[in-house]
Amino acid sequence: MSAQSSSAQGLGNSERQDAPQHHWHGVLDSAMDAVGHTPLIRLQTIAREEGFKCNLMGKCEFFSAGGSVKDRIAKRMVEQAERDGKLVKGQSVVIEPTSGNTGIGLALACAIKGYKCIITLPAKMSLEKEVMLRALGAEIVRTPTEAAWDSPESHIGVAKKLRDSIPHAIILDQYANPHNPLAHYYTTYKEIEYALQTSSLPRKDISVLVAGAGTGGTITGISRGIRDAQKEGDARTTVVAVDPVGSILGGGEPGNYQVEGIGYDFFPEVLDPKPPTVDRWIKTEDGEAFAATKRLIRSEGLFIGGSSGSALSGAIRYLHSADGQAVAKDPEANVVVILPDGVRNYMSKPWFLDVAADASMKELRDHIRGVLGRELNAPDAVVAQAESQGASLEKGEGVDHTSSPEGTEATLVEQTSNQKSIDDPSVPTQEAHSVQA
């Protein structure tokens, strides 16, 4: 019996979908049942380092089946379109313009349910997302990052053009589909509420919620869930939206930034940007977002992606601000930060490789070099190669896999031969001998 059917037996499809599901029970019917149900995890080291007394927590969406918060909306939009008779098995072609994660959620649903899927993706989005999408059987069309949202060349423009020319094609349209925020109202918010209610924390309410905004579905849906659950006399939750410099959602001019998945040059229909839904907008820079990403990985062991770093840096800034200080000092206050996806989406990105090449390990590295009597891999060379490949990809050019920067090739060959010697003791190298001795 699946998690769905064990706790929602006898319900009609739509009620089943909205019934709170918080735990896995028994065996799941498919990966669709493994969408959402993500843990709320305390960020104790970061809170301590910042001097916060409050309970700082991250809702870790990379635990979801497709690896992001957007799995939830993909599942709900597909299942609703099926109920409405808009999707026909073996016939429909699902097309979606996305920064990648909604695409992965949709491609996952389409793979399981048997629909064709086309994803239009701005060039800046990571290679990992494209590879995942292709692995799920989706067709990918890259579009220029700098194209304005309403130009025919943008990911939205290209998706519409394809929809108009492909029979049985449909755009579920995360930017306007009410089931985008509803997915968060019925699942993301309910899970946070359930986690707090069943915790040993002294208070069960949310003092501050912090989330980045792309389509705005996450922050709008969770905030509406919070507001609807609040009773008279309850303390009011402050809802803080985080937006990169270069996006217009939280004010400012459109421009370039590297963080993926949040910010736009237009206001999506599903985003409700004003109070009572969103109380406060905080603008974040790439540098602080990537530094916060590194902190979440290094100090909390959470494999989160760049927009999680944006959300955390926004939360830190709010809690240090005049408005946020009272919450930061309150040991009973709960602060929830939405961490939308995982770092596995970004491993080829220069900003992540910079994290991996951190110089703080130098002393230990020198020691290992001394013990082994040979050079270790050269992170700078790997980073330089990845940077040039990333730059080529962002320009829409192919990548030459045959050339590698000086030192990298030799290092890779060396690593491969050592790996072989460990796997297969019949062909030991010198290093392998000393390991085995």
Ligand X SMILES: Cc1ncc(COP(=O)(O)O)c(C=O)c1O
Interacting residues with ligand X (CB under 6 A): 68, 70, 99, 101-102, 212-218, 260-262, 305, 307, 340-341
Residue spans of beta strands (DSSP E) within 75-164: 93-97, 116-122, 139-143
Q: How far is the CB of 212 from ligand X (least distance, A)?
A: 5
CB of 259 to ligand X, least distance (A): 8
Please tell me the distance from the alpha carbon of residue 290 to that of residue 307, in angstroms, as a whole number: 8
Choose the catalytic residue: 70, 124, 190, 294.
Answer: 70
On the 0-12 / 13-18 / 19+ scale of CB atoms within 10 A, 52 is buried
Phi then psi for residue 13, to 5 deg, are -55, -45
CB of 128 to ligand X, least distance (A): 12
Does the active-site annotation cover 116? no
Closest CB to ligand X among 58 and 214?
214
Q: Kindly report the backbone phi and psi dihedral angles of residue 154, in degrees, each rounded to the nearest multiple of 5, phi listed first.
A: -70, 170
Residue closer to ligand X by CB (options 82, 272) is 272
Q: What are phi and psi for residue 232, nearest 5 degrees? A: -55, 135
Min dist. Cβ of residue 237 to ligand X (A): 18
Provide the 10 A C-beta neighbour count for residue 91.
11
Closer Cβ to ligand X, 271 or 383, answer by number: 271
The residues near 322 (Cβ < 8 Å, ≥ 6 apart) are none
Is 208:318 a contact under the CB 8 Å cutoff?
A: yes
Q: Which is nearer to ligand X, 101 or 385 (CB)?
A: 101
The angle that helices 306-320 and 286-300 make with each other, rounded to 10 degrees, is 100
Q: Which is nearer to ligand X, 310 or 389 (CB)?
A: 310
Determine how many CB atoms are found less than 10 A away from the CB of residue 154.
22
Chain residue whose CB lies nearest ligand X: 261
Q: Could you give the residue numbers annotated as active site?
A: 70
